[in-house]
Every structure is written in structure tokens, then in C-alpha cells.
Amino acid sequence: MHRNLSKAVVMLALAALVLTAGTAFAAGTLTMGTNAEFPPFEYVEGDAVVGVDAEIAAEIAKDLGLELVIENMAFDSVIPALVSGQIDIGVAAMTVKPERLNSVDFSKTYYNARQACIVRKDGGVTDGETLYGAAIGVQNGTTGDYAAEEYSETIERYAKALDAVLELAGGKLDAVIVDAPVAQNIIDALGDDNLILLDNIAFEDEFYAVAIPKGKPELVESINQTIDRITQDGTLDAILLKYFPATEEAE
């Protein structure tokens, strides 16, 4: 009897510990890691990181009652930073990939994207056939990087997709593979008529989600609830509309 009681007390204490451990954030903050070189999902404006993902993360933080802190880092540092506990969540237009699920968990997905291939109008790459063996620029460690590997061994890896596109514009590369919404955004921003998107290569659907350190089911659950809420109450549509030209299909 006495033994059972103390056992129950220990179990309760353990349960309390597990629960609080899962929601104990440094000084009431939620630290999001991202690579703010990916407009319109994340980019630097003045001193701030803004974009679709920053706004989604703000909704997540609001629902958790935490203050959002954003850490800007290389894209291929986001997963290591989650694993080492340097950041609480990764919101970086990150595509859910089986390989990534070995290191982190993902929330529900919030955006459907695809890769796109940018070329020069006056260049030699016009389709999947001519892309084989071409000099392809990518952002290091992205799904564009993996997609490029299907076509060529000549891959130049950059910290920023923009730098790859500038090299393409300057004639140093034959093509750039990057997420379609970002490809369009960069082309529009550069205003270079010689840069076009190929529409004849069938890339796979990709889905973006929030990356979360493994072993935090309550955090995943809370983020999923926020994603449900902003999907249902129109907040997500409003955020997408704000960052995508009205002429473009947001999803």
C-alpha cells in the first residue's frame, strides 16, 4: 500500500518532469532557426528577418505564449542546430524529406512547392535533355542540390540561391535549380529579361513543414494546432497573399 503510493508519487513527479521538459523554453522565448536568403519565405529587411515563415513562426510563438527570436544561419546548419538544441524550431521553407526525418521531426505541412530550373534565354539548356551534364548552380544542401545531382556532376553550390542566379546571368553557369516560388521572386527582383524558367521539366511535389527536434511530441502537437488554426481562420492565406503577387497562385 505504502509502496504503491510512493510509486504513484514518483510516477506523477516523472510525468510532471517530462511535461515541463517538453515545454521549457529559454526565458520565455521560442528560437527559430532559418536561412534568410529565400524570398519570399525568409529574407532580411533592415535589421529584421521577414517573410512567410517569420509570420507563421510568430503565430506559433503567440499560441505558445512565447516571444519569437529568429536566428539567421546557413541552410545546412538548421538541422544540426535543432539536433544540438541551439534552436527550438526550424522554419526555412524546408521540404519534408525521408533523410531529414532521421534527424528531426516535422509538423504538418503548410506549403506545396516544386523545384524550378532557371536558364538564360540565349543559353544552351532548353529542356531536361539539354540539362544533362550542364553546369548547374544550387543552394548548398537544398532539395535543388539533390535534384541537380540527377542531371549533372558539374554542380556549383552556393550559400545563397541569388548568388547562383547571378553567376547564371553572368554566363558562368548553364542553369540554376531552386524552389519555384523563390526562382520567380529572384527573377522578378533582378528584372533580367534573359532569365527564364523552364516549364518542361517535371519536378516532384515538395511540401514545407516546421522542423522540430526529435522527442518533443507536445511541441509538434502545438505547432500542428497552430497550422490548423491559421489554415482555418484565413491567416495563412492572408500571409501568402501578402508575400506573393496577386497574379500568382499562392498554393
Question: Which residues of this chain interact with ligand ARG, rule CB under 6 A?
Answer: 34-35, 37-38, 42, 75, 92-95, 139, 142-143, 179, 206
Q: What is the 3-state secondary structure (H, E, C) of 207-247?
A: EEEEEEECCCHHHHHHHHHHHHHHHHCCHHHHHHHHHCCCC
Q: Which strand (E) or helix (H) includes residue 176?
A: strand 175-179
Q: Least CB distance from residue 119 to ligand ARG, whole Å?
A: 19
Q: Least CB distance from residue 12 to ligand ARG, whole Å?
A: 41
Q: What pairs with residue 102 in β-bridges?
A: none
**CB-wise, 142 or 184, nearer to ligand ARG?**
142
**CB-wise, 66 or 183, nearer to ligand ARG?**
183
**CB-wise, 23 or 112, nearer to ligand ARG?**
112
Q: Least CB distance from residue 201 to ligand ARG, whole Å?
A: 17
Q: Least CB distance from residue 93 to ligand ARG, whole Å?
A: 4
Crossing angle for the helix pair 52-64 and 217-232, nearest 10 degrees? 120
Q: Least CB distance from residue 203 to ligand ARG, whole Å?
A: 11
Q: How far apart are CA 156 and CA 137, in angstroms?
A: 5
Grid cell, residue 163, equals 548568388
**CB-wise, 38 or 203, nearer to ligand ARG?**
38
- The residue whose grid cell reads 501568402 is 240
DSSP 59: H
- Pair 60, 53: CB distance under 8 Å: no
**CB-wise, 32 or 236, nearer to ligand ARG?**
32
Q: How far apart are CA 115 and CA 98, in angstroms?
A: 17
